[in-house]
A and B are shown apart, each in its own frame.
Chain A
Amino acid sequence: MPSIHNKELIAFVEKMPAFPKSVQRVVQLTSDINAPAKEIVRVIESDPVMTVKILKVINSAFYGLPQKITSIQRAVVHIGLNTIKNLALSVAAMGVLKPTNKAEFNTQDFLLHSLTTASICRLLAEKLNVKSSECSDFFVAGLLHDFGKIVFAEFDPDNFKLALEKSAEENISLHDAEIEFMGISHAQAGKILAERWELDPILIDAIENHHNSKNNSQLKDCIFTANQISKKLQFGFSGNPIIEENSEELIPRFNLTLEDLIVSLGDLTPIKSEALSFINS
């Protein structure tokens, strides 16, 4: 069974560029002295690559923060907007992620899935009356849950392509196919990277276990469920054809079936349109 070398993986991601639209917007906004701070925050937090790169820097031991920083908003409060702006600009300077890759993994569909999962995850948190100071953590967890996939598409496209094909042809979950061809799943790769970047242990755990429906924390339950809702509503596509919830079973934390839960959340199409506005140039 082939396996990915962690050191190479980590070094590769250091140089990985961000998504085209956010790079373009960051360059625009950082050239405008009057650009609203909240616009800059929104652009950064709509890009998983930019988000992890900034969280990585701010969570390094050098800033001795009393608690881990899990969202861009928190990062701005702690280290200041101008520093975050310049960090985003340094990520933008690395270029842009190409829309096509050898794995034939659609990066725009991936981003749409990640963004809608993030927004739905925050909605679910609100539904569970999570403290307002923690809701942005739920958004970030949703945004980053599949981060390992975009890394695979760039780092090991040949094997990732085989995994995507097998998952589609045999209708099996992508993470099982990844383990077969790459020796590691995107959830495990996400965990390795998140650990290396000293992210919050709760976030690391949520990324690692986002396919595990049992024995979960509030955050894990929300990611797991948001992921299924995004897939069920076909908001983008992240390579996994399997929706991991029998629609007739109740989801314990919400005490509803997946379909009833979706109905209870109201019209979710604005989430999709808003996400699309961050993706399309």
Chain B
Amino acid sequence: MKFKFWGVRGSIPTPGPATVKYGGNTTCIEITTENNDLIILDAGTGIHPLGQSLLKKLPVKAHIFISHTHWDHIQGLPFFPPIFIPGNEINIYGGLDPVTNEGIERALGVQLQYSYFPIREAELNASINYSTIKPGNAVTIEETKITPTLLSHPVLNFGYRIDSHGQSLFFTGDYEPIFNIYLPEDSEYEEYQSFIDQKQQEIALAIKGIDVLIIDSSYTTEEYAFKQGWGHGTYASAIKLATEANVKKLFFTHHEPTRTDDQLDAIYKQLKKENPNLDFEIVLAKEGCDFFT
């Protein structure tokens, strides 16, 4: 399968001269299967230029999988031009919010309100279908299987595994590896750690045998010391997971919004220096390039 990043930035779009190389749009990944099925992972601002590119290929049939409903992963949805054009079919998938008990339809509905947007949901001309999906229950589109896994973030977040024609890719959405909330001297420490270990095994199983891992690696290890609990991973935690999963290629994404192109290049150089013997390729996700699994 072919995939392309349309948005690699975390939290907020960051246009400007310092982000020209890697891009300033928030998360959006386009996947095209061998059958030409279109799968879109997340609908950050990157989905706007993706939508523009699709206008040459009408009618559009798209399957949009939302990892979670934080703004930077849904804010491009009202600006995805295919939703306004009759004859297009847009299928949106995501989880049930445990706090509000609402399905994924809220991701678009909440934005299409009078105060925030001029067009109401009823006025969209494409056929729009919502599917609230459950972790572990795969969605099948032709010969492609998309399986959600619950991953730790300050809101319900799905990582998605895509298996298609013998190749596989896993995208974490936003993900912070779970840490122990107790100190080693607390009586609850050991028990809590055993829960974490069980959850890690579940994640290991979900990513077993994948070719490509696209992972939230917002921070350096030094930065993370001040950002624990914010819901994002580090370059080091990404390399650790990729090593355990024995992947072929690792993509770092969700670049920290204040990070410039030069800083990203410097981080990459440092990572190569610190990890000279990796069995897989490491890549900084960058807007606009085509990759193949």
Shortest distance from the beta carbon of B71 to any chain A beta carbon, whole Å: 15
Residues of chain A with a CB closer than 8 A to B153's CB: 80
Assess the B156–A132 pair: CB atoms within 8 A: no
Contact (Cβ within 8 A) A79 B196: no
Q: B184 an interface residue at 8 Å Cβ cutoff?
A: no
Sort chain A's interface into a size bin.
20 to 34
Contact of A83 among B132, B155, B181, B191 (CB under 8 A): B155
Q: Are A64 and B99 in contact (CB under 8 A)?
A: no
Given contacts A66-B136, A80-B154, 20 further A-B contacts (CB under 8 A): A36-B181, A37-B181, A38-B181, A38-B186, A61-B134, A62-B96, A66-B202, A77-B192, A77-B195, A77-B199, A79-B98, A79-B150, A80-B153, A80-B155, A80-B156, A81-B154, A81-B229, A83-B155, A83-B156, A86-B99
Interface string of B188-214 (1 = CB under 8 A from A): 101110111011001000000000000
Interface residues of B (CB under 8 A from A): 95-96, 98-99, 132, 134-137, 150, 152-157, 178, 181-182, 186, 188, 190-192, 194-196, 198-199, 202, 229, 231
Bound-state Cα–Cα, A62 to B196, Å: 21
List A contacts of B188 (CB < 8 A).
Answer: 38, 73, 136
Q: Within 8 Å of chain B (Cβ to Cβ): is A58?
A: yes
Q: List 19 A-B contacts (CB under 8 A).
A: A38-B182, A63-B96, A64-B134, A64-B135, A64-B137, A73-B195, A77-B198, A78-B150, A79-B98, A80-B152, A80-B155, A80-B231, A81-B181, A83-B154, A86-B99, A132-B191, A132-B194, A133-B194, A133-B195
Task: Give chain A residues whose Cβ lies under 8 Å from the Cβ of B157.
Answer: 80
Closest to B178 in A: A77
Q: Is the CB of B191 within 8 A of A133?
A: yes
User: Smallest distance from the beta carbon of B80 to chain A beta carbons, Å?
Assistant: 26
Bound Cα distance from A274 to B99, whole angstroms: 30
Contact between chains at B98 and A76 (CB < 8 Å): no
- Which of B98, B136, B198 is close to A64, meaning CB atoms less than 8 Å apart? B136
Q: Is A251 an interface residue (CB 8 A)?
A: no
Contact A133 B98 (CB under 8 A): no
Partner of A41, one of B98, B181, B190, B196: B181
Provide the bound-state CA to CA distance between A60 and B101, in Å.
11
Q: Is the CB of A57 within 8 A of B191?
A: no
In the complex, what residues of B have CB within 8 A of residue A90's CB?
99
Q: A64-B136, A80-B153 are in contact. Are A136 and B191 (CB under 8 A)?
A: yes
Chain A CB within 10 Å, residue with most, of B96, B99, B155, B229: B99
Closest to A131 in B: B194
A73 to B189, CA, bound (A): 11
In the complex, how many angstroms separate the beta carbon of B227 from the nearest chain A beta carbon?
13
Contact assessment for B196 and A77 in the assembled complex, using a CB-CB cutoff below 8 Å = yes
Q: Which of A66, A73, A83 contacts B99 (CB 8 A)?
A: A83
Interface string of A143-180 (1 = CB under 8 A from B): 00000000000000000000000000000000000000
Q: Are B154 and A82 in contact (CB under 8 A)?
A: yes
Contact B136 A87 (CB under 8 A): no
Q: In the complex, what distance in Å separates the CA atom of A4 from the CA atom of B195? A: 38
A132–B199 touching, CB < 8 Å: no
Is A13 an interface position by the 8 A CB rule? no
Q: Please, how many angstroms separate the alpha-carbon atoms of A27 and B96 in the complex?
A: 25
Which B residues lie within 8 Å of A86 (CB)?
A: 99
Instruction: Please tell me if the beta carbons of A79 and B156 are within 8 angstroms of each other in the complex.
Output: yes
Identify the 4 closest CB pairs spanning chains A and B, nearest first.
A82-B154, A133-B194, A37-B181, A64-B134
A10 at the interface (CB under 8 A from B): no
**Cβ of A135 under 8 Å from chain B:** yes
Contact A73 B192 (CB under 8 A): yes
- Decide if A74 is an interface residue (CB 8 Å cutoff): yes
Contacts of A80 in B (CB 8 A): 152-157, 231
Q: B residues within 8 A CB of A82?
A: 154-155, 231
Known: A41-B181, A78-B199. A57 touches B98 (CB 8 A): yes
Whether B229 and A37, one on each chain, are in contact in the complex, defined by CB atoms closer than 8 angstroms, is: yes
A74 to chain B: which residues have CB within 8 Å? 195
Chain A 17-59: CB-based contact to B (< 8 A → 1; otherwise 0): 0000000000000000000111001000000000000000110
Bound Cα distance from A105 to B196, whole angstroms: 40
How many angstroms from the CA of A86 to the CA of B182 in the assembled complex? 20
Q: Could you tell me if B132 and A62 are in contact, using CB atoms closer than 8 angstroms? A: yes
A90 to B97, CA, bound (A): 13
- Name which residue of chain B comes closest to A39, CB basis: B181
With A and B bound together, what is the CA distance between A73 and B199 in angstroms?
A: 12
B134 smallest CB distance to A (angstroms): 4
Point out the residues of chain B lying under 8 angstroms from A57, CB to CB: 98
Q: How far is the CB of A177 from chain B (nearest CB, A)?
A: 38
What is the CB-to-nearest-CB distance from A41 to chain B, in angstroms, rounded to a whole number? 7
Find out whether the CB atom of B134 lies under 8 angstroms from the CB atom of A62.
yes
